[in-house]
Homo-oligomer: A and B are copies of this chain.
């Protein structure tokens, strides 16, 4: 029997953060500060984090809905967040720009495969650890300008390499681009026809919960 959810709690557990969604309000908690036991209400979740699997499985109010996002794919180890992001997408290239950048290609309802790239925050953090004297710039350059210092060289390298790659994928597969994830906004200037939906994973989770519970 289908319930009407007056209140809905959702969680997307990643490798860096736990994102908790309560009726349209999003809370992002670093995994090191996150304890699943503290959430007492019924909460529907997906997780790409194997470390949390045992804890979450043992909690009765935590309900894993990954299996409802059935994707027609030959891809092994497609993360739950990627499944939820492309759930229901017939045609398009979905780019999730979080701490990693994942790219998934959907054609006629079939998942053709995808790519995983380093995200901006990973890059910044890793460069800081490995080359402490090199800084990441703050200003994103136009792709007409060749960077004139190492800070810009890093940031421009990140953005314009991705722009080139996405343009090639767009052309090759003749598909529209769909962006989600925090670092997407900077990309939209290069792809004015692309769609951006910050909450696509949670919106698809809500669909699944409403259809199945």
By a beta-carbon cutoff of 8 Å, the part of chain A in contact with chain B is 15, 50, 74-79, 99-100, 102-103, 105, 112-118, 122-123, 126-127, 130-131, 133-134, 145-150, 153-154, 156-158, 160-162, 164-165, 167-168
Contact = CB atoms under 8 A, between A and B. Distances in A.
Contact of A160 (B100, B115, B147): B115
A74 B158 CA distance: 21
Contacts of A153: 102, 113-116
Contacts of A168: 160, 164, 167
Given A15-B131, A122-B130, A160 B165 contact: yes
Nearest to A154: B116
Most buried by B among A15, A105, A115: A115
A117 B157 contact: yes
A126 B122 CA distance: 8
A49 to B, nearest CB: 9
Nearest to A150: B77
